[in-house]
């Protein structure tokens, strides 16, 4: 038996291939599936089955796509009957206690509700070594290293019930499993599917029993209070992603957005109200010159998360970059969160737009030294997370987490110069672009953010 992990760093998402005797089982696949196809080809494997631990909220599933391409059987939780989110496409139901055998590997479904009602964990046995002692637990979003899955995905009305179910899954469903069982979750540190996850990517059940703070809480009421009191911010896009994965993401066939669009045609698209212009360059480049109305979300590991937070869905997306931009990787980041309608990119990048003498917008950039010089008179908007804000912020600043900014614009003054600050300048550039698109005319982006501010030892307020 072999276990191979695949990581999408920006989403802190882990998927797996279990293989034995020439057959492979893929668990919780990402949307762009070629990495699995390349792996099985290189190792002379055939994908026989595709499993999912639950209906995911933070990324678009690749299970349906992979089943279509590989011809593998799709085994999904059968515990979704009557739930708000239930699988709507053809699959085989996998229920508690049922077993899938592939080669010398046995995978036993364990119903572990709490994060979601239908959630399954997979207890894996290697019959070549021992038919009675489990080797590992693919725990999905049930048990993380150092944490548990958040139970509030279905809203206020359901979260108390799900938190109680999570308690009973933890105290009851794992009782018979030995300490030596390896824990392999679907997410790691950085995911919003749980709080306080360790930087370690795997663990053992014994270690989690000893060190995971939620395992130690034996009182149900205190457990419920503790887990609900620790949940991270709730992204609005989670509800949309749940619907997408329940209904089944559309089949991609290939990665979209590979078309280089000439300047004149691109200009026509800019003029269309439904178009979404996404600038993938660095904050300082965006501030220097950008296409009016464009969003600033820099390419890289954080693109998936922030694009899902702030970009409109079901609208055509056009990419803008420079000579260093990897448009294919950027498009992969978008389709991983269900932003599929990527039409292409501006041929020649922003340089072609500038050289064409077309209209440009600008956002002034200042250093932390410049902000500090008149911070007492400036309106400062801090777009960091709640934890970052509490650990230290500029005195007198207003706090709105970047992902929530589009729905809280009415809380900000118009006609006043707004200095936008985050941790390093990435999120503040994105927030500045949102403000500019909404008609806020006086915006200044603070380069270096609170990292540079703290390096200069400027004063902060902690709450």
pLDDT at 269 over 90: yes
Q: Could you report the per-residue pLDDT of 172-183, keeping only the tens digit for each?
A: 999 999 999 999
Q: Which pLDDT belongs to residue 130?
A: 82
Alpha-carbon span 126 to 135, nearest angstrom: 7
Does pTM top 0.85 for this prediction? yes
In CATH, which of 3.40.50.300, 3.60.15.10, 3.40.430.10, 3.40.50.2300 is domain 2-247?
3.60.15.10
Query: Measuring CA to CA, how many Å separate 179 from each of 134, 142, 148, 154?
Result: 10, 17, 17, 32
pLDDT tens string 336-378: 999 999 999 999 999 999 999 999 999 999 999 999 998 888 9
Position 8 scores a pLDDT of: 95
The predicted structure's pLDDT at residue 153: 93
Contact 336, 342 (CB under 8 A): no
- Tell me what percent of the residues of the chain surpass a pLDDT of 70: 100
With contact defined as beta carbons under 8 Å apart, do 123 and 134 qualify? yes
* pLDDT (mean) for 451-461: 96
The tens digit of pLDDT for each residue in 129-138 reads: 887 899 999 9
Instruction: Return the pLDDT at 58.
Output: 96
Between CA 35 and CA 39 the distance in angstroms is 6
Residue 356's pLDDT is what? 97
> 86-137, pLDDT tens digit by residue?
999 999 999 999 999 999 999 999 999 999 999 999 999 999 888 789 999 9
In the chain, what's the furthest Cα-to-Cα distance? 72
pLDDT (mean) for 263-273:
96
**260-355 and 365-455 agree in CATH topology:** yes
pLDDT at 78 over 90: yes
Q: What is the pLDDT of residues 213-253, one digit of tens each?
A: 999 999 999 999 999 999 998 998 999 999 999 999 999 99
260-355, superfamily in CATH?
A: Rhodanese-like domain (3.40.250.10)
CA distances from 160 to 81, 196, 209, 239, 463 (A): 20, 20, 23, 18, 28
- Tell me: domain 365-455, CATH 2.60.120.20, correct? no
Whether residue 203 contacts residue 180, with contact meaning beta carbons closer than 8 Å, is answered with no
What number of residues does the chain have?
463
How much is the pLDDT for 157? 86
Cα-based distances in Å from 271 to 274, 277, 316: 9, 10, 13
Q: What is the mean pLDDT of the chain?
A: 96
**Domain map of the chain by residue range?**
2-247, 260-355, 365-455
> According to the model, what pLDDT value does residue 126 have?
95
The neighbour count for residue 268, using CB atoms within 10 Å, is: 10
Q: How many CB atoms lie within 10 A of CB 253?
A: 9
Question: What proportion of the chain, given as a percentage, has pLDDT over 90?
Answer: 94
Instruction: Give the pLDDT score at 432.
Output: 98
Collect all residues with Cβ–Cβ distance below 8 Å to 457 and sequence separation of at least 6: none
- State pLDDT tens for residues 6-64: 999 889 999 999 999 999 999 999 999 999 999 999 999 999 999 999 999 999 999 99
pLDDT the model gives residue 121? 98
Q: Tens of pLDDT along 381-405?
A: 999 999 999 999 999 999 999 999 9
pLDDT class of 411 with cuts at 50, 70, 90: very high
Q: What is the mean pLDDT of residues 263-291?
A: 97
- Report pLDDT for 65: 97
What pLDDT, on the 0 to 100 scale, is given for residue 374?
87
Q: Nearest-CA neighbor of 281 among 226, 345, 215?
A: 345
How is residue 251 annotated by DSSP? Answer: P
pLDDT, residue 132, reads 87
pLDDT given for residue 67 in this prediction: 98
Would the pLDDT of 463 be above 90?
no
């Amino acid at each position: 038996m072999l276990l191979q992990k695949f990581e999408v760093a920006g989403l802190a998402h882990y998927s797996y291939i279990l293989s034995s005797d020439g057959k492979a089982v893929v668990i919780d696949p990402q949307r762009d599936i070629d990495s699995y196809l390349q792996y099985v080809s290189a190792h002379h494997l055939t994908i026989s089955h595709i499993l999912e631990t639950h209906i995911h909220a933070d990324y678009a599933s690749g299970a349906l796509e992979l089943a279509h391409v590989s011809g593998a059987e799709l085994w999904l939780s059968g515990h979704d009957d009557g739930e708000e989110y239930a699988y709507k496409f053809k699959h085989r139901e996998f229920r508690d206690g049922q077993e899938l055998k592939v080669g010398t590997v046995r995978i036993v479904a364990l119903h572990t509700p709490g994060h979601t009602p239908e959630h399954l964990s997979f207890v894996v046995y290697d019959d070549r070594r021992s038919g009675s002692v489990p080797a590992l637990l693919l725990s999905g979003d049930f048990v993380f290293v150092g944490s548990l899955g958040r139970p509030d995905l279905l809203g206020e009305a359901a979260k108390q019930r799900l938190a109680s179910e999570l308690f009973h899954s933890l105290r009851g469903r794992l009782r018979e499993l030995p300490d030596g069982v390896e824990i392999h979750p679907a997410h790691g540190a950085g995911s919003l599917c749980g709080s306080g996850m360790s930087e370690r990517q795997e663990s053992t059940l014994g270690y989690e029993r000893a060190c995971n703070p939620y395992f130690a809480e034996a009182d149900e009421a205190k457990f419920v209070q503790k887990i609900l009191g620790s949940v991270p911010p709730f992204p609005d896009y989670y509800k949309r992603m749940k619907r997408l994965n329940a209904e089944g993401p559309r089949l991609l066939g290939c990665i979209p957005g590979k078309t280089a669009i000439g300047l004149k045609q691109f200009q026509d698209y800019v003029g269309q109200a439904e178009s979404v212009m996404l600038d993938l360059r660095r904050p300082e480049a965006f501030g220097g010159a950008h296409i009016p109305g464009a969003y600033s979300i820099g390419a890289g590991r954080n693109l998936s998360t922030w694009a899902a937070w702030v970009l409109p869905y079901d609208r055509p997306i056009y990419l803008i970059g420079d000579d260093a931009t990897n448009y294919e990787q950027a498009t992969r980041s978008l389709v991983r969160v269900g932003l599929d309608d990527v039409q292409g990119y501006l041929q020649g990048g922003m340089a072609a737009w500038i050289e064409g003498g077309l209209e440009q917008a600008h956002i002034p950039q200042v250093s932390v030294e410049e902000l500090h010089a008149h911070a007492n008179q400036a309106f400062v908007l801090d777009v960091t997370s709640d934890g970052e804000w509490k650990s230290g912020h500029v005195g007198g600043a207003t706090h709105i987490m970047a992902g929530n900014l589009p729905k809280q614009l009415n809380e900000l003054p118009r006609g006043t110069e707004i200095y936008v600050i985050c941790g390093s300048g990435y999120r503040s550039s994105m927030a500045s672009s949102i403000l500019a698109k909404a008609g806020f005319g006086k915006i200044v982006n603070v380069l270096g953010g609170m990292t540079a501010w703290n390096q200069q030892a400027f004063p902060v307020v902690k709450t």
